[in-house]
Every structure is written in C-alpha cells, then in structure tokens.
Structure 1
Amino acid sequence: MDTLTHIALGACIGEAFLGKKIGRKAMLWGALAQSAPDIDFVGAFWLNTTENLLGHRGFTHSILFAAAAAVLLALIADRVHRPHDIRTRTWFLFFGVEVFGHIFIDAFNNYGVGWFEPFSHHRFSFNAIYVADPFFSIWPGIACIALIFLRRTSRARNAWWKFGIGLCSFYLLYCLFNKIKITREVDEIVARQGIPHQRYFTTPAPLQNWLWYVVSGNDSGYYVGYRSVFDSRKQMDFHFFPANRYLLETDSLRHDPDLQRLKRFAQEFYTVEKWSDTLVFNDLRFGQEVGWFDPAGKFAFHYYLSLPGDNTLVVQRGRFAGWNRAAFKSMGQRITGN
C-alpha cells in the first residue's frame, strides 16, 4: 500500500497495543514500525532503474527482515521507555504485528513481495487490492486524525482505533470476495471464448475494487479486457496485444542485464513494441493508462530499451496518464456494468 496508509494503520495498531501505557508515543512507534520495510527507497540513490525495480519490496519485505526488524525495534523501545511495566513479549508482539502486517498487506497488490528473499526470488502477489485505494485507506486515516486530537484519557480512543482497523480489515475481506467472484467468472469466460490462458491474472483497475483488469495469453501474445463485479453478461470484450518477443533476439539485447532483470520482474507478463525507432518493453501487470476507455491504449509500465536513461519514473509515469473527464466518466459507467 502507499506510505500514508501504512503510517495511519500503524498508528492505529500502536494505539491498540500500547496507547494506555505510553500515550501518543505508541502511535509514533506504530507508524515507524509499519513503515520500516519501505526503507528500501534509499536504494534508488545508487541502484539503476531495473536494479531498483527488483530491490523494491525485495529483502526489506522478507520474513527474515521483518523478524530482525521487529526484534531490533522491540529492544530499542524497551530501553527508551525505561522504567516501564511493559513485558518484553508485549514489545515483540507489537512490533511483530506492525512489521509483518506491512509485508502481508503489500502482497495483496500487483507489484509482488519477496517474502523469502534472499533464499528465493519468487514474488507473492494476490492481486486483490489496488496499491492506492482510498476506500481502504480512508478509515485508518480518519481514525488516526481523531486519535491525534483526542485526550489521552478519552474513552473514545478505544472506539476510534477499532473503527480504523476494523473497517479497513472488512474492506480487505470484501476485496477478496470480489477477487474470487471475478476470477470464477473469468475462468468460465476465457474457456468459453477460446482465449489462451496458459498464463492469466485479474487485478483491480485504479483506485477502486469494482472494475477489474484481466490479462490472459501465452508467449504469442495477451488478450486484455475489463470486467465489473456488476457485469451480468457471460462474455467479455478483449483486445489482443502480440508479444513480439522476437524483437529482443538481437546481439545487443540477448545478454543485456537490464533486459534480464525486466523479464524477471515482469514474471512473463510482458510484450515488446516499436514506437518509431524506440524499442519498448511493456510490463502488463500494471495495467493500461485508461484501458476501459481506450482498449488499444498504452500500458502504464513501459520501459524504453533504446533509451535506458529515460526510465527513472517507469512505474509512475503512466499510472494516471491519459486521465481526463471523459475517461473518468467512462470508468464510472463501466463499473456499473454498462
């Protein structure tokens, strides 16, 4: 999830565990601990783009790192707050819930999390919630603001942290329900329509959980479409994108380390295109810029193989490109099943 969500959720968990013991400092510790795995952002200062793609949500989002961070933070907090009556195991449990909670929640996005780094490079992606979903984030955000202003002795503090944690947890369960529903329907549709599905996935389109982005195909290419949880039709409209992987079979690219890292990062869900004289690598997992509005539109993640220096914002640059009033209205209509 995004940084602000982790901070707000971490603060609510901090209040739940230790608010009655150390006051608002519990929220600070919670926000810090929940944000700890995102220390990997510093890698951007010395890693190139493709190295940073694999570094992000890699080792610092592993079980090994989470365990070490929880122990270290527990020992530091125990010493900082002496004298106190907080048991050591309470510190360990608190920071364990915070740090492990971070790497657990991030796995529900489409980026992928390296839980078993450095022993395995496999990335876990449940593809159940968009990385920045306001319907998930708003509840702990509201609760966090309320907790900041409420007095330490206020009885309402207990209700607010339950509000923040409870509603975002309920929404996450709702997202999983939508995921199961969409996946079941897409399974039947691609089989009925004869769409190749050696590899396929479903993941939410931006900022919500009702319209889902669907990719299905193989090494020849991928069929891309959208399905709403409110759709009643037993079929889907797909747009085909050829993989064009033969374009990578050149002496200059065959052993290029950046390309090898891109392939590993994309987990086989990629196509290659030529834009004028520029060779472009598309990672399909991040969706299209406004695919529900323009089915043949560009993919949000596109890496210029011919111009590696122009890829510093490769994950972000296409995320909301092409958004305008018409595209936004089209999304609303598509969500309703129209």
Structure 2
Amino acid sequence: MDTITHTLFGLSLYGSVDKEKMDRRTKMAYLFTTVGASQIPDIDVISQTWDTEGLYQMWHRGVTHSIFLTPLWALLFYLLCLVFFKVKDRRLFFLGWLAAVIHVTSDLFNAWGTGYLEPFSQMRITFGTIPIIDFVFWVIIGSAYFISKKKPIANRPFYFRAAWLIIALHIALQSLQGYYFYQKYTHDYEQVALSAGFIPTTFQVITKQEGTVTIYEDGIFQSKQTLYSLESQEDADLDYLFSKNPAAKTLQQWSPFVVIVEDDQQIGVYDPRFYRNGQSFLFESIEH
C-alpha cells in the first residue's frame, strides 16, 4: 500500500484504542507506536542509496516486510516509548506488533507483493486483488473519523473498530473475486497474474501463452475486454542483457513473468502488470 494508506491504518488503530483514562504522555506513546510501526517496514527504501548491483527491486518490500521480523519492529517501538515517553506498557508491544503485521500483510494483496517469508524463502508473494492505492480504505477510515467526532469520547473507539471490520470485509470480497478470475483464466493460459483496478470489482488479468502476453480488463459488473496484446521475444539473449544490466535479472526474478523486448535499438524486459499507455514503468534494458 502507499504511505498515506499505511498512515491512515496507524491512525485508525490509535482511534480504536480506549484512551479515556490515559494521560497526555501515554497517548503520545500510543500514537507514536501505531503510526510508526505502521510505517517502519518501508524503511527499506533507503537501500537504493547504496545499491550498486541492481538488487533494489528485491530489497524493497523484502526482508523488512517479513512476517518473522514484525515482533522485532514491535520491540523497537516498545523500547523507544520507554526512552522518549517514559511509558512502560506491554500493550504498546502488542499494538506495535499488530500495526507491523497489518502493514506487511496488506502489502500482499496488491500487485507489488512482498517477501513475506524471508529469509526462509525468496518467493515474492502477491495476490493482486487490492490496488496499491485503494481509495475505499480512505473513505472507510475517513467516515469513521467524522462520525466519531460527533460522539462522546468513550464511544469513539467503536467506530474505528467497525471500520476495521468493514476493511476486512472489503479485502475478503475483493480477494474472492480475484480468485474467481484467476481460476477462470488459468484453464486457458500457461501463466496468469492479477492487478486490481482502482474501481472495486474490476481487475486487469495478465496472461501469457508461449510468446504472447495479453492483458484483459474484467469484472463482476462488466464484460471482458482486451486491452493489450504484447509479443515477447523469447529467443533473445538474456544472459547478455543480465551481464550488462543486473537490474534486469532482478526484475525477471521479482516478476511473475516478463515481456522481452528486442529490436535494432535495445534489448530489455518489463513487467506487464504495470503496462499503461504503451509502456511499463518497471522496464530494464540496454542499447544495442
């Protein structure tokens, strides 16, 4: 998910906590923990500053997004609260753990995916059933905020907890639809990947059969539509490409499958899940 959504997740966790009997310093510790732990897995973005081998595509959302690292993130914020706020409350550890788990788990559902099981598995897990920016989340959390502001302080956590239930229901419904479309296309193509549209219930279904990649738009309330048909040059010399541009090899490892481009000017690979208006923003190449 995007940074704004992760921040909203942290704020809605904070909103779901009963703070009626808390002092100001304890409230600050809770806010710091929920928002901070909701953001901390994305600290891996700094790795691009020292990446000289084209590995950033695997590092980003890699080990920092591992489910096995989440209790360490929680411990970090628990200790920071002791140091900066002088607050010792074991609930902060569990709240920080929950915030980190929500971050790394929610990222599984969009097309970018995560290294959820690192370091025990390098597999990139992605479901593609929720867009990277899902405005439905924003509306749900925003509604909980505005409704709760009109209620007594003691009743406000109820509305944020209800928002979390609605968010879970939204993810479940989207994922069931995604599973249906994935199975629908799997029977006819060698490889299939999903990328959820910004409008709920709509999906881009990316398929590959031999050297042809076809991108469809499909949904519960719309008919199937062919968006793009792309030819992949499967006979291209990728070893040469990888030797000159290691990031291309990383991209091939990271993506479910790639489109290979080779012409008189260049040779390269790109991820078709991010193909829009004649190009993919995940494209690595070299000039001939």
Residues 227-283 of structure 1: CA distance to partner in whole angstroms, max 9, x if unpaired? 121135xx7647532220322346x4253433321211123x111224661333211
Counterparts of 1:299-338 in structure 2, within 5 Å, are 299-306=280-287
- Give, in whole Å, the separation in 2 of the partners of 1:109 and 1:169: 15
Counterparts of 1:43-58 in structure 2, within 5 Å, are 43-48=47-52, 50-58=54-62
TM-score by length of 1: 0.73
Q: Which residue of the partner structure matches residue 273 of structure 1?
A: 261
Query: Retained in 2: the 8 A contact 1:14–1:28?
Result: no
Q: Which residue of the partner structure matches residue 173 of structure 1?
A: 172
Q: Which residue of the partner structure matches residue 98 of structure 1?
A: 99
Shift of 1:105: 0.5
Counterparts of 1:60-71 in structure 2, within 5 Å, are 60-71=64-75
Q: 1:185 to 1:264 in 2, by over 3 A?
A: closer
Q: Sequence identity of aligned pairs in percent? A: 18
Q: Which residue of the partner structure matches residue 243 of structure 2?
A: 255
Query: Retained in 2: the 8 A contact 1:144–1:164?
Result: no
- Give, in whole Å, the separation in 1 of the partners of 2:50 and 2:170: 38
Q: 1:279 to 1:115 in 2, by over 3 A?
A: same
Whose relative contact order is higher, 1 or 2, with alpha carbons under 8 Å and at least 6 apart? 2
Q: 1:119 to 1:181 in 2, by over 3 A?
A: closer
Q: Which residue of the partner structure matches residue 282 of structure 1?
A: 270
Q: 1:160 to 1:150 in 2, by over 3 A?
A: same
After superposing the two structures, state which structure 1 stretch, 109-118 or 9-18, moved more: 9-18
Q: Which residue of the partner structure matches residue 127 of structure 1?
A: 128
RMSD: 2.9
Of 41, 45, 55, which aligns to 2:45? 41
- Give, in whole Å, the separation in 2 of the partners of 1:19 and 1:263: 48
Shift of 1:173: 2.0
Residues 26-56 of structure 1: CA distance to partner in whole angstroms, max 9, x if unpaired? 2332111110101111112222583221111
1:26 counterpart letter in structure 2 = Y
Shift of 1:13: 1.0
Shift of 1:23: 3.3
2:47 counterpart letter in structure 1 = G
Aligned residues between the structures: 283
Of 28, 33, 36, which aligns to 1:32? 36
Unpaired segments ≥5 residues, structure 1: 291-296, 308-338
Aligned to 2:132, the other structure's residue is in SS state coil
2:131 counterpart letter in structure 1 = Y
Aligned to 2:97, the other structure's residue is in SS state helix
Q: Which residue of the partner structure matches residue 161 of structure 2?
A: 162
